Each structure stands twice: as structure tokens, then as C-alpha cells.
């Protein structure tokens, strides 16, 4: 199996992936804490370092580049200083931003994390979440239609910041199906009804639970024991995965379950559970981005669903063991495969 995974990873550089989604700039402010503020019961952080990284759909693109793939982004940033920082960071990573629009009437989404010592003290979000203007939506749809043939797969990264609309998803799905391209979604629970007909989705446990409630599936899922926002047992998770598979007409559902690993659902097959390989969990930020990046990239070069899910699990184990949103590199994934397979 190790040789098979190594063979799949070695082909990553042959793939060209389109990522469509909400672009976010991740800002990290580091400092030390040695006293509590006299103004309020909060720590005072003495700042000594600041840096910026691509986040949201941009982090998915960064993961794909780190794994060797060619990547193009479609999304929106504000015509502002933070938008320039994000575009500069993407260009430094050789990520194609021709599908990214700079908008004068919209600010760039920024997540600022303030870290005192090794502990995140607070996160501050600066963002616009209203749906994008119709002309910007049409521009994105035109980009998809004109360029779809050159991509091997499409990833829709939905953070609920307004860029992903029903019409954009519909355009992407119809074009991907027309040209026989893999199309996957890292979902936002409010938008599950948009995703009908994609190849696969990769929800976490909470997103799965909310989807079951929100899209009103009328079959065995009505009997799920959902309590305190948690599916209580394996049977509940299995029922939910199977129902999403059928309701949205998908080829696969990959549910991520935190420290319990992942569970893959495919049409006509029994659920396939994958135990986590993470040794320590420091930060789950960006783990979902990593999962969909590796899962989709593996599918794009011919891996089976199970193989793609196993590789995604290895990659997630790397990310959660590090502080902050980080992109997995191909050599790291190869080392993880060598260690565990």
C-alpha cells in the first residue's frame, strides 16, 4: 500500500486544479503575556511579531501548490491594503489569480489571531458577508465556462462569506459534469441544497448534523438521535452519511470526525472508517482545507475514493500537530505515509 500511495503522490504535479471560494487573509500577531490589563480582566500582549498567510479558499490553493499541483483561484478581494497583501502572498506561491476580482465596494476578509506565548488570546474577524453583486457573479461564471477544459478538478470552498452563490455552484457543477471533471465541496451547512450533483463533499460532524436538520431529509434520518448538537453513535453517523449521499446525488461523502478520524460513504458500498493518525492536536485551524485539497488532488490523478480519503487523513494528521493555518508539503506527506502505511 505504501508504494501505491507514493505513486499517487508522485503524480500530483501533473494535476491542474481550480479553487472557487471565499478568499481570506490570515493575520497572526505574536507576543508575550506577563500581566493582566488594569482596564479589564484580559491579558496584555506585548507584540513582537506579525505575519500574513493565505486563508480560506486561498489556503486550499496554498495546500495544493505545496503538494506540487498547478492551481488557479476564482474569488473576490477588496481593492484595499489587505487585498494587496493577499494577492502578493498568492503570487509568491505561484498561484494563478487571474480569476480573482478586486472590488472597490467590498473589503477583504481578514481573520486576525492574537497569540500570547503559545496560547491564542482572541480572534478578530473583519469581513463582508453579503452576497456578491450580480455583475461579479457573471464574471466568475464566464471565467469557469471559458477555462474549465484546462482543469482536472474543481474545488468549491464555501466559508459563507458571500462569494459562493447558488448560481455560481450551479454553473461550476454543470460545466464540471459536461466536461467530466471531478468537483468537490468543503461545505457551509446553510448551503447544502446548492451542492446536488457534485462528485463529493467533505463536511465535519457539526456541518453534517446541521445539514440533516436544515435540508429536512424525510426518511430514516428523521429518527436520528441528535442531542446537544452531536450525533450520538456510529449508527447515527452512518445514517446521516448515507442520506446525504442519496439526497444530493453524490458519488461520495467524506465526514471528518476530529480525533475519531473520518468516515467515507460511497454509492453501493459499506461505510469505510479511517482512524486518525494524529499524535498530538495543537490547532485544528485549516484541517478541513487540507482534507479537501489532498482528497481532490488524489481523485484528479486517478486514485480511488478510499485511497484519496486515506491520504487526506495522513495530511490532516500533519496539520493539526502544528500551530496556526499551515499548508502541507509533498515531502511531509510522503514522510507521513512512510511512517504509518
Counting every residue, how long is the chain? 341
212: its cell numbers: 440533516
Whether the CB-CB separation of 231 and 213 falls below 8 Å is answered with: no
The one-digit pLDDT tens for each residue of the chain (341 residues) are 778 999 999 999 999 999 999 999 999 999 999 999 999 999 999 999 999 999 999 999 999 999 999 999 999 999 999 999 999 999 999 999 999 999 998 999 999 999 998 888 999 999 988 999 999 999 999 999 999 999 999 999 999 999 999 999 999 999 999 999 999 999 987 898 899 999 999 999 888 888 877 655 544 445 554 434 455 577 888 888 998 999 899 999 999 988 888 999 998 899 999 998 765 554 455 688 999 999 999 999 999 999 999 999 999 888 765 655 667 888 888 888 887 76
Whether the CB-CB separation of 207 and 189 falls below 8 Å is answered with: yes
| Residue numbers annotated as active site | 289
Alpha-carbon separation of residue 33 from 41, 50, 51, 161 (angstroms): 13, 16, 19, 33
Please tell me the CATH code under which domain 2-35+44-340 is placed. Answer: 3.40.1190.20
Half-sphere exposure of residue 131: CA atoms within 13 angstroms, side-chain side: 11
pTM: 0.91
Domain residue spans of the chain: 2-35+44-340
118, 122, 126, 129: CA torsion to nearest 10: 110
Q: Tell me how far apart the alpha carbons of residues 341 and 328 are, in angstroms, rounded to a whole number.
A: 18
Q: Tell me how far apart the alpha carbons of residues 84 and 74 are, in angstroms, rounded to a whole number.
A: 16
Residue among 144, 122, 15 nearest 75 (CA): 144
Residue among 241, 116, 251, 75 nearest 173 (CA): 251
Amino acid at each position: 500500500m505504501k508504494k501505491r500511495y507514493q505513486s499517487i503522490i508522485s503524480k500530483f504535479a501533473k494535476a491542474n486544479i481550480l479553487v472557487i471560494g471565499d478568499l481570506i487573509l490570515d493575520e497572526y500577531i505574536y507576543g508575550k503575556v506577563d500581566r493582566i490589563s488594569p482596564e479589564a480582566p484580559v491579558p496584555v500582549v506585548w507584540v513582537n511579531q506579525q505575519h500574513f498567510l493565505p486563508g480560506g479558499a486561498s489556503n486550499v490553493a496554498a495546500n495544493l501548490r505545496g503538494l506540487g499541483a498547478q492551481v488557479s483561484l476564482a474569488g473576490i478581494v477588496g481593492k484595499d491594503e489587505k487585498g494587496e497583501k493577499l494577492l502578493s502572498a498568492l503570487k509568491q506561491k505561484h498561484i494563478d489569480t487571474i480569476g480573482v476580482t478586486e472590488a472597490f465596494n467590498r473589503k477583504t476578509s481578514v481573520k486576525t489571531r492574537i497569540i500570547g506565548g503559545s496560547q491564542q488570546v482572541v480572534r478578530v474577524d473583519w469581513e463582508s458577508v453579503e452576497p456578491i453583486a450580480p455583475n461579479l457573479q457573471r464574471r466568475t461564471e464566464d471565467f469557469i465556462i471559458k477555462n474549465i477544459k484546462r482543469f482536472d478538478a474543481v474545488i468549491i470552498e464555501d466559508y459563507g462569506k458571500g462569494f459562493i452563490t447558488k448560481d455560481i455552484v450551479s454553473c461550476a457543477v454543470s460545466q464540471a459534469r459536461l466536461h467530466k471533471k471531478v468537483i468537490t465541496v468543503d461545505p457551509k451547512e446553510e448551503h447544502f441544497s446548492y451542492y446536488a450533483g457534485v462528485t463529493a463533499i467533505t463536511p465535519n460532524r457539526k456541518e453534517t448534523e446541521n445539514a440533516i436538520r436544515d435540508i429536512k431529509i424525510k426518511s430514516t434520518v428523521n429518527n436520528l438521535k441528535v442531542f446537544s448538537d452531536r450525533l450520538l453513535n456510529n449508527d447515527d453517523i452512518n445514517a446521516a452519511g448515507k442520506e446525504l449521499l442519496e439526497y444530493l446525488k453524490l458519488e461520495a461523502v467524506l465526514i471528518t470526525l476530529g480525533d475519531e478520524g473520518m468516515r467515507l460513504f460511497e454509492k453501493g458500498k459499506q461505510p469505510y472508517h479511517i482512524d486518525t493518525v494524529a499524535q498530538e492536536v495543537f490547532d485544528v485551524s485549516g484541517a478541513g482545507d487540507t482534507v479537501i485539497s489532498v482528497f481532490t488532488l488524489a481523485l484528479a490523478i486517478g486514485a480511488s475514493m478510499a485511497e484519496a480519503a486515506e491520504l487526506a487523513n495522513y495530511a490532516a494528521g500533519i496539520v493539526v500537530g502544528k500551530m496556526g493555518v499551515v499548508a502541507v508539503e509533498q515531502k511531509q506527506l510522503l514522510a507521513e505515509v512512510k511512517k504509518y502505511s
